[in-house]
Structure 1
Amino acid sequence: MSGKLSDLNDHLFAQLGRLSTELTPEQIEAEVARTNAIVAVAEQITEGANLQLKAAKLYHDAGAGILPMLPQIGKAVEK
């Protein structure tokens, strides 16, 4: 896994495929637990990606002048 959003998409669809196979009740319970864990991680990944997108839009709209108001980002860019 290379850490791309497309990888996340692949994992989500693979899990959906596992859920759609014929499983015993015990296997269903295990896959549902696994699915819940995958969904929780996926939500965090997509929230992080959304934050990056918002930051990129803010930088695009406001320009470099916004950097001093974002101390951690501003320091990283200055180096």
Structure 2
Amino acid sequence: NKMTDLNDHLFAELERLGDEEMTQDELDAEIKRAKAITGVAQQVIANAGTCLEAARFEDSKLDRDLRLPPMLGGSDA
């Protein structure tokens, strides 16, 4: 999965929300679904931001002995 996949899913949901032929019940269900999708999307984006910050940290560190924690891709050594 890539961020472009997430973008595709979000735009697909936007198109579904714009369907003017939905009944009110269908629209209510789609709104509920959209809220769930955006909640997950926010967490995916936050995780990607953390990974990016870790990569920036790893790339720009001044102390060659400084290591990332294992949960962020660093080694235990």
Q: Same fold (TM over 0.5)?
A: yes
- For 1:38 and 1:53, the matched residues in 2 are separated by 22
Residue in 1 that maps onto 2:45: 46
Q: Deviations over 1:25-69 (max 9, x none)?
A: 1011000000000001000100000000000000111064320xx
Which amino acid in structure 2 is aligned with residue 48 of structure 1? N
Query: TM-score normalized by structure 2?
Result: 0.85
Give the share of equivalent positions with the same residue, in percent: 39
Residue in 1 that maps onto 2:24: 25
* Residue 15 of structure 2 is aligned to residue 14 of structure 1: no
The alignment of Structure 1 onto Structure 2 pairs a total of residues equal to 72
Query: TM-score normalized by structure 1?
Result: 0.83
Which amino acid in structure 2 is aligned with residue 66 of structure 1? L
Point out 4+ residue stretches in structure 1 off by more than 4 angstroms. Answer: none
- For 1:71 and 1:5, the matched residues in 2 are separated by 24
Give unpaired runs (5+ residues) of structure 1. Answer: none
